[in-house]
Amino acid sequence: MQDFKNLNHLQENLKTGIKQNMYIVHTPDWFEEKMKYEFTIWDMARGNAYITVDGKTFTASAGDAVLFSPGVSHSARTDEDGCEFLFQQFSLEHGNAINILNDINLSGIIKSEWIGADCLAYCENMKTVHLGPYGLSLWQYADFLSYLAKVLRFVQEGKHVPFFEKTESSPHTNLRRAMSYINEHFLEDLSIKDIAQKAGFNEKYFIHQFRIQLGIPPKQYMIKCRMRYAVHMLIHTEEKIKDIALHLGYADVYSFSKAFKKYYDHSPSEFRKINRY
């Protein structure tokens, strides 16, 4: 049984949400080879997906839930019948602890014998949902949270087929180490060179691999972590915006507001007003 004690005691100020929600239909010629940079779940609705991770191939069928952690590289294909699944990227954060599931061996498949009815019902409920500028409606968020709780409970109880025997055996361990280091130190004055050295890369190769494997450069990922933390501070604290800006390393409120609006389409003060009450 995996150690979920930290997760089970973090209800206060816990933030989770869906970043992407799409119902995907794949034809028989589908093949992909990617690395995940967000927590991702595929809820299988029809057909089979053959997923290869670390040289091993796993079969996911209708009613199965497939879980990927950030940093997991995979290839996937289907057969002559094609397949359909609900694709969701999600976060689970607590204050400045971005993606607190990183140390849990989450990646793998929860088979339909455990989650089948819930998986298929959830697919049906969410397949036509389109994320608006403020995410999900209240009842959609409640459905998501309830389903995610069931998924995590099955993982905790060992009712899933893990892709890796241990989290540390995941490929691209150095990139995962770099992501974890940024998650823990993004409030500091980090240089890309320092992060690369911590991960065991030279700077140029590190930037190239980070961009290729995760889809964004390391500097952008660092900014992303800061913006998430800014959201937490704006919603859950009484800190003045100028103090949040300084805390995040911005020289002034204007620079912070400009960067924040680029991510969330609202100034920090507007965002606080809209989401606080």
CATH number for the domain harbouring residue 251: 1.10.10.60
Residues 103 and 179 in one domain: no
Output the pLDDT for position 96. Answer: 47
Spans in the chain with pLDDT lower than 50: 1-2, 9-12, 96, 98, 167-171
Residues 70 and 203 in one domain: no
Last residue of a domain, one of 115, 140, 166: 166
Q: Which two tokens stand for residue 253?
A: 């409120």
Q: Which two tokens stand for residue 201?
A: 């890369």
Long-range contact set of residues 129-137: C-beta below 8 Å, sequence gap at least 24 = 129/21, 130/21, 131/18, 131/20, 131/21, 133/265, 134/274, 134/275, 135/17, 135/18, 136/17, 136/18
Residue 173 three-state SS? helix
Output the pLDDT for position 110. Answer: 96
If residue 241 lies in a helix (H) or strand (E), which one and from where to where?
helix 241-247
Place of tokens 């030279």: 202
Output the pLDDT for position 28. Answer: 97
Burial bucket for residue 134 (CB in 10 Å: 0-12, 13-18, 19+): exposed
Residues 157 and 226 in one domain: no
Residues 12 and 118 in one domain: yes
Residues 180 and 217 in one domain: yes
Q: What is the DSSP string of 109-126?
A: EE-HHHHHHHHHHHHHHH
Residue numbers of the domain that contains 261: 172-276
Give yes or no for a contact between 233 and 239, defined as CB atoms under 8 angstroms apart.
yes
Q: What is the pTM of this model?
A: 0.62
Output the pLDDT for position 103. Answer: 55
- Dist. CA 7–CA 66, nearest whole Å: 20
What is the overall mean pLDDT for the chain? 83
Per-residue pLDDT tens for 1-25? 445 555 554 444 556 778 889 999 9
CA neighbours within 13 Å on the CB side: how many for 100?
20
Output the pLDDT for position 43. Answer: 97
Residue ranges of alpha helices (H) inside 29-126 are 112-126
Residue ranges of alpha helices (H) inside 22-172 are 112-126, 138-156
* 71 CB neighbour count, 10 Å cutoff: 24
